[in-house]
Structure 1
Amino acid sequence: MSRAATGGPALVPVDIGHAVYAAVTDPATAFWGLVDKTRVNESLTGGPLFDAYSKEYDRFARELHALRFELKPSGVYLNPTERCNLNCTYCYLPGEQRSGGTHMPRETLTASLAALRDYFASVMGDTDRKPRAIFHGAEPLMNRDAVFAAIDEFADDFAFGVQTNGTLLDDAAIDFLTSRNVSIGLSLDGPVAGITDATRRTWGGKSVHDKVLTAMEKLRGYGSWSVITTCNTENLPYLTRMVELFHAAEVPTCMLNTVRCTLPGARGVKPADGDMAKAFFAALDRTHELYRETGRKLMVANFANILLAILAPTARRLMCDISPCGGGRAFFALAADGGLYPCSEFIGLKRFNGGNLLTDGVEAALKSAAFRPVIERDVDTFDPCGSCAIRHFCGSPCPAEAAEMNGGMDKIGAFCDFYKEQVNYALRLIADGKADDYLWDGWDDGTETVFNIVN
């Protein structure tokens, strides 16, 4: 039930599977508390927790509303080419684009970044914070000369990143990117070649596993790099080995992402929710063991974001796990043909093209009929999300897969039950005092504790 329907605090119980504690939450505001399992009912309508929360209700409601509906974009995903040298099973971009698509000309990329610089200045105002510009897939380094020229020309205007499959990261590319403090994201799906190769190969069927390992070794010690593993039926039994590999390679941050089921190829390697949860939690448990053994954390960023969504909602770093998501609100995507999309996930879906950056502009795209269904997607308004206790810790991602896989923006995403269990796991960690072990050191610097009561 939404806040509009309740008009005030309405706590509901959540069994998180803990021996001692249960959770109570107000789904409308993302407020939560941990209470003794024997005292749940009395906490729902009275007592110190309910009374103290009631006094802060309006503040929590305003903050969540601002996070969900009042953000302005501060980042862009730049797709400087349609091409990719890999043919991954689960890619969200159509194969015909990746195999025979076009590059964005260098001059067009330069003009696009100039237009984006002006747009972000208009919405971000006078701030020392630079907008984020992430060169994204297909494979951005297939248009390397244009990308590197753009990074040099606009170094003072954007905080740049590159998300790459890693196969084209030669010594010169690594030197260029690291010397300019560009964040670098790689992808690796298996601890050994046979597992990686099951879903990630070249168009000719060749393995790229060893090339990615080589790139990882060259990046060891660099402060701003990460590796994504896309969790699927082929690698799910090996997630614990993956985090062991990443920890040994001194990867600062990884992501164990559920496969996005926007296109049919991905749905063929989608794990069952229960299997996903079991493997994912085992991998997280292993990262904690490694931290206790060595004193060095391996951050699993997508899970850390769920923890932040609970502990400090406005401090979350990723905007997939909230409704509406970040697409068209916190960021948007620029395709190689100059088209604007709410997120890169939508680039293969032409009905989500909000117009051309250089001829129509960003503001027109944000107001377009292509963007509005994403920007206005509200889990409060459709079932089963509207009655879910953890809907604002989850956000029912992803709108692209909800629309394509399940038939509409008013449908759930691909991993509903997994997200529920992920939130329960996170709440158990909080109850046991372990949450900080799974978060970046100093994650709460600059945050303010506005509510803290022992019940």
Structure 2
Amino acid sequence: MRAAPLPPPGPRLIPVDIGHPVYAALTDPATAFWALVDKTRVDAELAGGALLDGYRARFDEFARELHALRFGLKPSGVYLNPTERCNLDCRYCYLPGEQRSGGRHMPAQTLLDSLQALKDYFASTLGGSGRKPRAIFHGAEPLMNKDAVFTAIDAFADDFAFGVQTNGTLLDDAAIAFLTARNVSIGLSLDGPAAAITDATRRTWGGQSVHGKVLAAMEKLRGYGSWSVITTCTGENLPWLSEMVELFHAHEVPTCMLNTVRCTLPGARGVKPADADMGRAFFAALDRSHALYRESGRKLVVANFANIVLAILAPSARRLMCDISPCGGGRAFFALAADGSLYPCSEFIGLPRFNGGKLVDGGVDAALASPAFRPVIERDVDRFSPCAECAIRHFCGSPCPAEAHEMNGGMGRTGAFCEFYKEQVSYALRLIADGKADDFLWDGWDEGTETTFQLQ
């Protein structure tokens, strides 16, 4: 049995150079507390004063809040993988090619039975909160098994908040009409502002381009409130990330994600960019998104970066659970594979050792307690180097456990983009220092939040 998480050692502040001309950050990684102080006053603040005294008085409260966020969550969402098949052969996919080319579909009745079991489970975790659990149909390509998916959405419309993450190639007019009429969130994928760039990583098994089909789907979704586009950032498309932002803004995409490629399987590692190159392109794209907002008054929220900003400003308000340790896998969500097996996250479905058993056999609770899930649920950056010594470890979380395990040799290792995450946190803190952070967040992000510490 693994030992309980260690209690934080007590209040301590660590200075962090965030690259700002005036301000530095003081952080306590044990609680994710932070403050921006004039660089000339860092030594004085560390020696004592109102800031340190105020923090000491709230230390226990902040430690409890972070501990509850890290270790007290219960699942409230599920990624549903209704098929192993995909009509694309993307170079960086986290699912093995043999599954995607010739895998199985989940029968419609099995999917319905699974959702009934999941409905019963979430009733126990969400209780009388009034919240619907999230159920996202996910990759491979869920619309390869469209009839089963649409049947399930209609059957459980009152019980789940549904979403579909699709490559967009099968989103014909009828599919769009069905999904939008039921307020299903729709996520697409596009890796380049021009076909040649997209085609470098995302093509059909026959080598055909899908760029035009995704653009057509984006145009049909213009004006719909619940859609987004993911760009997977690789060595093939980094020089064009700013152009991607311009394309998304022109198509009135409400939210996008500029995700670092997940390096779980070897194919993805072949297109992994260097951290420094990733940072330069990513921050240039963020700068461009901000310029477009200032010019037009219309935001394009880059959700994965917005989540980092929220992790700093309001940790419990973050919308994604990758950037925290332990991550959301097996804590905030889990994944159901096409064969009915449960995994901590879809990222693990190609790794049999993380199979937690069949939903219909042992149920969710058995999977959560299984040796397949526990290493993910118990991955704790406070317990391994270099994360344990890192001042920003709870704004980052050393993602992703699947890629850390497969690429770097174990759960007690960093993910693939350690230095990039450090720079991302510094960039976010500079925006906060300059009063620009709200420009990068969803309107109304702070509704229902409460300021618990403020010292001018």
Same fold (TM over 0.5): yes
Query: 1:276 maps to what in 2?
Result: 278
Letter in 2 for 1:225: W
Partner of 1:32: 34
- Residue aligning to 2:427: 425
Q: Which residue of 2 aligns with 1:409?
A: 411
Q: Which residue of 2 aligns with 1:90?
A: 92
TM alignment of 1:47-86, pairs within 5 A: 47-86=49-88
Identify unmatched segments of 5+ residues in structure 1: none
Q: 2:395, 2:352 → 1: CA distance?
A: 30
Residue number in structure 1 paired with 2:19: 17
> What amino acid maps onto 1:44 in structure 2?
L
Q: Displacement of 1:45 after TM fit?
A: 3.7
Note the C-alpha offset of 1:7: 2.7
Q: Distance in 1 between matches of 2:78 and 2:102?
A: 24
How much does 1:350 deviate?
0.3
**What is the alpha-carbon distance in structure 2 between the residues aligned to residue 45 and residue 250 of structure 1?**
50
| Cα distance per residue 1:117-156 (max 9 Å; x no partner) | 0000011101211000000000000000000000000000
Moved more, 77-86 or 36-45: 36-45
* CA distance, structure 2, for counterparts of residue 254 and residue 239 of structure 1: 12
Decide whether the 8 Å contact of 2:87 with 2:101 is kept in 1. Answer: yes
Matching residue within 187, 205, 208 for 1:206: 208
Residue 8 of structure 1 and its aligned partner are, at CA, apart by 1.2
Partner of 1:99: 101
Q: Tell whether 2:247 aligns with 1:245.
A: yes
CA displacement at 1:5 relative to structure 2:
7.2
Paired amino acid for 1:216: M
Contact 1:11 1:45 (C-alpha < 8 Å) held by counterparts = no
Residue of structure 2 equivalent to 1:440? 442
The amino acid across from 2:285 in the alignment is A
Q: Which runs of 4+ in 1 moved over 3 A?
A: 3-6
Q: Alignment identity in percent?
A: 81
Task: Indicate how the Cα distance of structure 1 residues 75 and 5 shifts in structure 2: closer, same or farther if over 3 A, else same.
Answer: closer
Task: Report the equivalent of 2:223.
Answer: 221
Q: Judge conservation of contact 2:187–2:228 (CA < 8 Å) in 1.
A: yes
1:260 corresponds to 2:262: yes
Find out whether 1:174 has 2:176 as its counterpart: yes
Question: Which string of whole-angstrom CA distances, capped at 9 and with x for unpartnered residues, describes residues 420-443 of structure 1?
Answer: 000000000000000000001111
Secondary structure at 2:360 match in 1: helix
Partner Cα distance (1:403, 1:318) in 2: 21
Q: How does 1:251-400 map onto structure 2 within 5 Å? A: 251-400=253-402
8 Å Cα contact 1:333-1:341 kept in structure 2: yes
Letter in 2 for 1:177: L
Equivalence for 1:193? 195
**Residue identity matched to 1:365:** A
Whole-Å separation in 2 of the counterparts to 1:315 and 1:290 = 26
Find the counterpart in structure 1 of residue 127 from structure 2: 125
Shift of the 362–5 alpha-carbon distance from structure 1 to 2, 3 Å rule, reads closer
Shift of 1:266: 0.2
* Secondary structure in 2 matching 1:54: helix
Instruction: Read off the aligned partner of 1:414 and give its amino acid letter.
Output: A
Q: Matched residue of 2:149: which SS?
A: helix
User: Which letter does structure 1 place at the counterpart of 2:351?
Assistant: L
Q: Shift in Å at residue 216 of structure 1?
A: 0.1
Per-residue deviation, 1:6: 5.8
Specify the code of the residue in structure 1 equivalent to 2:120. D
Deviations 1:378-399 (A, max 9, x none): 0000000000000000000000
* 1:47, distance to aligned residue in structure 2 (A): 1.1
Q: What letter corresponds to residue 52 of structure 1 in structure 2?
A: G
Match of 2:407, as an amino acid?
M
* Alpha-carbon contact 2:325-2:379 (below 8 Å) kept: yes
The letter for the 1-side match of 2:203 is R
- State the Cα RMSD in Å: 0.8
Asked if 1 retains the 8 angstrom alpha-carbon contact of 2:8 and 2:63, the reply is no
Question: Distance in 2 between the 1:123 and 1:22 partners?
Answer: 41
SS in 2 for 1:279: helix
Deviation (angstroms), 1:44: 1.9
